[in-house]
Amino acid sequence: MRFASTRAAGNGVGFSAALREGLAPDGGLYVPTRWPAMPAALQSPDLDLPSRGASLLLPFLAADPLEGELPAITREAFNFEAPLVTLDAAAKLSLLELFHGPTAAFKDFGARFLAASLARVPRTSGRTLNMLVATSGDTGGAVAAAFHERPGMQVTVLFPKGLVSPTQERQLTCWGDNVRSLAVRGTFDDCQRLVKEAFVDPELKSRARMSSANSINPGRLLPQMAYFAAASLEVWRRYGEPASFVVPSGNLGNALACLWARAAGLPIGEVVLAHNANRTVPDYLASGVWRARPSIATLASAMDVGDPSNAERLRALYPDFNELRVAVSACSVSDEEIRARIRADYASRGQIWCPHTATAAEAYERLPAARRAAQRWVLVSTAHPAKFPEIVEPLIGRAVSVPQSLAGLFARASSYVEIEPDLGALRAAL
């Protein structure tokens, strides 16, 4: 299997090389050059998530130095559950809970897989590998946790100062050791731009060995296919119907993982992208005109992306716009609608949503009744509500229980350095 840039045809590189480089030399994103058939073993009902993930991803690592390591990688990375919970049996509605990892967000799956893989990639020199990660909230914490104290690896987390929740900021800044945090005086889009500029900057390339831990790295996206595979196969075994997913979306990494799983042959029906007030993707699907814009701060802060990088992969997967509009749909949800959905679903279902999951729940409720009734739907729950107590608790009138993994963070000291949103400032910090 080879991975080629979205911007140039060619033979591409193997999985390990794409993992190390993060971004293609021409600035494009790595994508598989073909979609392998779904392995028959993947459908076995006896597989746990690590085994299912290894079976699914094996064709993507074919003939790569990491091929034989894949079972050990998934066993190390996926050491927590991703349960599919029945939410409303009559309405054929389920919930995929992706917040049971060490930082209580779905980003743990990809971050831990990436760290476990890079730790096993044969090293050609003794130079430290510098992982750069831009975060709008959850990615940086997951990457910091996954790479903390790993020898030969340095992590630099860039986050928009004042635009993440207090709990998220603590997750980004409490690690020390080989993890450093930079508070950028700007937006997530500024952070993401700085990471991309760093990869093509001659000065930085000459003195640092760098890779990305954002979803621009295929090592983040591919493992996220595993839980979509597991959930869709479970729905198929139970009901003999494909699963349709409502995915909270920002930089489109999780959405692409779902669409890649469908391209690989998993029984996945519709895919609905639930965006917050950053409506670049919904507007694009409505008009056919791509218009990136500055990001807007919302309650669902991890989705505050005005120019999502993975849109490039989305267009590579569906180069014909009419085909793209059939393959995926999207909507935008306001902060007030997020608040209303958190209140309503706590009152009616006893469910406590984080703002991102509430965005997906609102998108589902907007679907026409006939469309909802015609399919098996799965809401993708991407973060634990305890990460957003200042938002959630006043809306439901009670405290949210805190997972032990989050509670432990508050005992750690917090430290970060502020920088301006320009490459010169990042060079100096590095």
List the CATH number of the domain containing 321: 3.40.50.1100
> Which among 365, 68, 339, 108 has a CA at the least distance from the CA of 246?
365
Domain residues for the domain of 352 are 81-107+219-402
Write out the chain's pLDDT in tens, 430 residues: 999 999 987 778 999 999 988 889 888 999 999 999 888 888 888 899 999 999 999 999 999 999 999 999 999 999 999 999 999 999 999 999 999 999 999 999 999 999 999 999 877 667 788 888 888 777 888 899 999 999 889 999 999 998 888 888 888 898 888 999 999 999 988 998 999 899 888 898 888 788 888 788 899 899 999 999 999 999 999 999 999 999 999 999 999 999 999 999 999 999 999 999 999 999 999 999 999 998 899 999 989 999 999 999 999 999 999 999 999 999 999 999 999 999 999 999 999 999 999 999 999 999 999 999 999 999 999 999 999 999 999 999 999 999 987 887 777 888 899 999 999 999 999 8
For residue 382, being part of any structural domain is answered with yes
> Which among 141, 69, 143, 88 has a CA at the least distance from the CA of 110?
143
Cα dihedral 231→235→241→247 (10° resolution): -40
pLDDT of residue 124: 67
For residue 245, being part of any structural domain is answered with yes
C-alpha–C-alpha distance, residues 239 and 263, integer Å: 21
For residue 73, being part of any structural domain is answered with no
Q: How do 129-134 and 209-212 pair as beta strands?
A: parallel
What are the residues whose beta carbons fall under 8 Å from the beta carbon of 417, sequence distance 6 or more? Answer: 180, 181, 182, 183, 429
For residue 343, being part of any structural domain is answered with yes
What values do phi and psi take at 5, rounded to 5?
-70, 145
C-alpha–C-alpha distance, residues 67 and 276, integer Å: 38
For residue 386, being part of any structural domain is answered with yes
For residue 329, being part of any structural domain is answered with yes
For residue 258, being part of any structural domain is answered with yes
> Which among 404, 408, 406, 388 has a CA at the least distance from the CA of 396?
388
Q: How many domains does the chain have?
A: 1
Q: Answer whether 0.95 is exceeded by the pTM.
A: no
For residue 33, being part of any structural domain is answered with no
